[in-house]
């Protein structure tokens, strides 16, 4: 077995995985003060301008004039909102009457000294205030997400919490809000740090085996211990990566694809769900030729509803492309809804065309539309025949989109289907971003490479574990990868 005496190098390498770079820490003390509008631009009652950094005291002294008299009027009190006048730093002119609050480091969002200026949300007031701030030495406008990046760099939050905060800001539905809050609270951070710690403990065991393992019994005992730990970690990550643990639907929303033959009522269904004319509806078959997407809130869920081209053979080049895209959309859907015309189904002897039937499964919701166009006395019998034509257990709703029969029940039913299939009451954090999934998949590859090696390849095995630990560190941002950080924070608004 190959031995080496480079313990110091490997211990230093492990330590590098547990701390941020000292170079970054030194840079924190010398960076400029930043400012930005923290509220949406436009006319409103109040706008908030956030200022953070080492020159906050100078900013306060120059542009904040507290109302009232006495020795204490210029004192900055932590977390106390005061009435004041905001002044132009260039000539001392009063720009606006407003409010100001000071947060003393480290008890602020960025962990730096921070002030927030509350003024009227007027284009003229804000333009003059921003110009005044930029005139002060050491002060500049913030870049996208820079306040949050400073909070991350100071260790107040990790990268998963920063992403969850962005998800919270962008949330449109109750489900998105709830899952974003779980991320902000740090539940994903705790899980990923535990995974990383397991990788580092296994690495430490293997490193010790390289340098200090002498006897055969010691070698086999330590090696088996490391393999057991890695096997358990691998199973944990594999479970976290499983389809049942896919959490992207909670943040990005789930996809609902409407499909079926031409003129069955697919576009009419989309319009009903959207409560507006989102799709063109005509009696002409093949009106819809591409996939049309509308984002809706269904029972607190963000649902991207896709209307697709009618599935049928066609010699028309454009329609054929639309049919192909429709099939691809159905295959990639979280929830597929098949709309069939009950009169057409009756006329065809309850035979579902192959182009449609191949996409219908027990997970498909089948809507039998146009029940108002059939004999009510035979409706029950025809519904039974329709059930036999579809896979056993396929949910079926008889409806009339035009007349409104069954539409309120359908809306409630879709909400229940979504809750039943995708709802998760547990506190276990799920994968909510593709970036996390990519790093975890890379970690699995390194763990599999380790498990494929024997004790005689212990040096190579240690290297595989080192790579695995680095990948897990990238999830939380514990080690710095500039392109990853830039990709995350550029998605923020400037004032956050």
pTM of the predicted model as reported, rounded to 2 decimal places: 0.74
- Other CB atoms within 10 A of residue 433 CB: 22
23 part of a folded domain: no
* Phi/psi of residue 144, nearest 5 degrees: -55, 130
Q: What is the pLDDT of residue 71?
A: 47
16 lies in a domain? no
Q: Are residues 128 and 66 in the same domain?
A: yes
What tokens were used for 492? Answer: 């923020």
Q: Is residue 465 part of a domain?
A: yes
One domain, residues 254 and 239: no
The tally of domains found in the chain comes to 3
Strand residue runs (E) in 19-166: 33-37, 44-52, 64-66, 82-87, 94-103, 114-121, 139-141
Question: Are 115 and 102 in contact, with CB atoms under 8 Å apart?
Answer: yes
Q: Report helix, strand or coil for 105.
A: coil
390 with 320, same domain?
Answer: yes
DSSP state for residue 157 in the 8-state scheme = S
Instruction: Check residue 367 and give its pLDDT.
Output: 92
pLDDT at 480: 58
Together in a domain, 400 and 435: no
Contacts of 445 (CB under 8 A, 6+ apart): none
Question: Is the domain of 99 the same as that of 138?
Answer: yes
Q: Name residues of the chain where pLDDT drops below 70.
A: 1-29, 68-74, 212-220, 243-246, 278-290, 424-427, 480-488, 490-492, 494-495
415 and 307 in one domain?
yes
Q: What is the pLDDT of residues 332-367, one digit of tens each?
A: 999 999 999 999 888 888 888 888 889 998 899 999
Sign of the C-alpha dihedral, residues 83, 89, 94, 97? negative
Neighbours of 273 (CB within 10 A): 22
Q: State which of 398, 422, 446 marks the end of a domain.
A: 422
Q: Of 422, 450, 477, which marks where a domain is finished?
A: 422
- The domain of 372 spans 248-422
Question: Are 415 and 314 contained in the same domain?
Answer: yes
**pLDDT for the residue numbered 434:** 87
Q: Are residues 298 and 199 in the same domain?
A: no
Q: Which of residues 127, 142, 157 is at a domain's end?
A: 142
CATH number of the domain that residue 66 is part of: 3.30.1360.120
Q: What is the CATH classification number for the domain harbouring 277? A: 3.40.50.300
Q: Same domain for 418 and 315?
A: yes
d(CA 216, CA 222): 10
Q: For the sheet containing 94-103, what is the strand order?
A: 64-66, 82-87, 94-103, 114-121, 44-52, 33-37, 139-141
Question: Residue 476 belongs to a domain with what CATH number?
Answer: 1.20.120.430
- Find the distance separating the first CA and the last CA of the chain, reported in whole Å: 54
* Same structural domain, 191 and 115: no
In this structure, the answer to whether residues 240 and 252 fall within a common structural domain is: no
Residue 378: per-residue pLDDT: 86
pLDDT on residue 11:
45
């Amino acid at each position: 077995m190959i031995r080496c005496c480079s313990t110091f190098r490997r211990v230093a390498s492990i330590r590098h995985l547990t701390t941020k770079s000292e170079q970054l820490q030194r840079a924190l003390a010398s960076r400029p003060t930043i400012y930005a509008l923290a509220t949406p631009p436009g006319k409103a009652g109040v706008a908030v301008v956030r200022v953070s950094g080492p020159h906050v005291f100078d900013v306060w002294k120059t542009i904040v004039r507290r109302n009232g008299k006495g020795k204490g009027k210029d004192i900055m009190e932590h977390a106390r909102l005061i009435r004041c006048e905001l002044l132009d730093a260039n000539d001392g002119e009063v720009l606006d009457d407003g409010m100001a609050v000071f947060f003393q480091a480290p008890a602020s969002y960025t962990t730096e000294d921070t002030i927030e200026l509350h003024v009227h949300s007027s284009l003229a007031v804000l333009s003059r205030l921003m110009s005044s701030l930029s005139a002060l030495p050491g002060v500049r406008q913030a870049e996208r997400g820079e306040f949050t990046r400073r909070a991350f760099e100071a260790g107040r939050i990790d990268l998963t919490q920063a992403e969850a905060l962005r998800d919270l800001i962008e949330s449109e539905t109750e489900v998105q809000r709830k899952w974003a809050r779980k991320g902000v609270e740090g539940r994903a951070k705790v899980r990923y740090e535990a995974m990383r710690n397991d990788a580092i403990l296994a690495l430490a065991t293997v490193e010790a085996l390289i340098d200090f393992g002498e006897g055969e019994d010691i070698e086999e005992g330590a090696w088996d211990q490391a393999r057991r730990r890695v096997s358990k970690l691998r199973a944990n990550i594999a479970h976290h990566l499983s389809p049942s643990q896919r959490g992207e639907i909670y943040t990005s929303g789930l996809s609902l694809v409407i499909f079926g033959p031409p003129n069955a009522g697919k576009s009419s269904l989309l319009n009903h769900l959207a409560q507006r004319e989102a799709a063109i509806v005509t009696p002409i078959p093949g009106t819809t030729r591409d996939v049309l997407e509308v984002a809706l809130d269904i029972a607190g869920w963000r649902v991207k509803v896709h209307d697709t081209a009618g599935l049928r053979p066609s010699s028309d080049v454009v329609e054929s492309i639309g049919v192909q895209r429709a099939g691809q959309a159905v295959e990639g859907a979280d929830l597929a809804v098949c709309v069939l015309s009950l009169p057409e189904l009756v006329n065809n002897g309850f035979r579902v065309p192959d182009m449609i039937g191949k996409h219908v499964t027990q997970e498909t919701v089948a809507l039998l539309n146009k029940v108002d166009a059939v004999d009510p006395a035979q409706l029950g019998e025809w519904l039974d025949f329709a059930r036999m034509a579809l896979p056993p257990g396929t949910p079926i709703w008889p409806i009339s989109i035009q007349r409104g029969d069954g539409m309120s029940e359908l809306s409630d039913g879709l909400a229940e289907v979504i809750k039943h299939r995708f709802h998760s009451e547990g506190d276990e954090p799920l994968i909510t971003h593709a970036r996390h999934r990519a790093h975890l998949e890379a970690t699995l590859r390194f763990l599999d490479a380790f498990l494929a090696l024997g004790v005689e390849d212990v040096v190579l095995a240690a290297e595989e574990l080192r790579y695995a630990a680095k990948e897990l560190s990238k999830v939380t941002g514990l080690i710095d990868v500039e392109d990853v950080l830039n990709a995350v924070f550029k998605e923020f608004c400037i004032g956050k």
